[in-house]
Amino acid sequence: MIPATSPSDLLDVAEALAERGARGFLLSGGSDETGRIGIADFADAIREIKATTDLKINAHIGLASTKEIQDLVGCGIDSFSADVYGSDETIREVLGLDARVEDYVKVVADLKSYGARVAPHMCVGIHGGAMRGEMAAIERLKKLEPEVLILISLIPTKGTLYQSASPPSNEMISSVVRRAREELPTTRLLLGCMRSKLDRSAEFRLVSEGLDGIVLPSPSTVDRLKKEGYTVKKRSVCCAIP
């Protein structure tokens, strides 16, 4: 990611992106010990970027207060990516945070209450590659009727606690897709970019089971979808942006 540790840095980055013809960018960062990313500290810079450029902004805000969310929505951010979990144990043991499932659900609810476009993200197998609360998270989202739900998955990463873990199996991801399709019939279901791509063999099946889109599908998946009569549309934009 391009570093921008101050509002002035962010303005410089946005200006450079606009000058080279970029369509937009993802605004994110590391969180503090409370799960807060601190994007609200850049609110004035964001407002200026939206007023002076045509850049689209997707913001991943982590945990945030209702006041911070109100301020960020008022800046003109085009869409928000919000994490959702279904297990307090996962939040405590994997993220290392003293937070609860409801804290993350509240972020989604607050964003919707202020009229923001919000794309909840759920990481399948985040608890060391095991299923732990994914179905419960879907149940929580039912009441919020999200426009889109983006499914990602654990990527075992060198130097982390789960570097030797196995990524979630195709069947695990398939079970989440089927449940999400059943419980969220009007929600667009997307397979996001941050996922294990070691085994791409199930991508077509996931579409047949209810996925509406895949970020960076394999060429063989695209070919098969076309052969089976699906209309394939390519979008060169972050999947969280409508």
**Residue pLDDT, tens place only, 97-123:** 999 999 999 999 999 999 999 999 999
Arithmetic mean of pLDDT over the chain: 96
CA 20 to chain centre: 26
- Per-residue pLDDT of 135-170, as tens digits, reads 999 999 999 999 999 999 999 999 999 999 999 999
Tokens for 219?
């060429």
- Per-residue pLDDT of 39-96, as tens digits, reads 999 999 999 999 999 999 999 999 999 999 999 999 999 999 999 999 999 999 999 9
Quote the CA–CA distance of 155 and 199 in Å, as a whole number.
12
CA distances from 150 to 4, 17, 66 (A): 26, 26, 23
Residues 183-204 have a mean pLDDT of: 96
pLDDT at 236: 87
pLDDT at 69: 97
Largest CA distance in the chain: 50
Residues 168-178 have a mean pLDDT of: 97
Residues 2-27 have a mean pLDDT of: 96
Task: Quote the pTM value.
Answer: 0.94
Show the domains of the chain with their CATH numbers: 1-74 (no CATH), 78-229+237-242 (3.20.20.70)
Q: How many CB atoms lie within 10 A of CB 67?
A: 10
Dihedral in degrees, nearest 10, Cα atoms 82, 85, 89, 93: -40
pLDDT over threshold 80, residue 242: no
Q: What are phi and psi of 124, to 5 degrees?
A: -75, 130
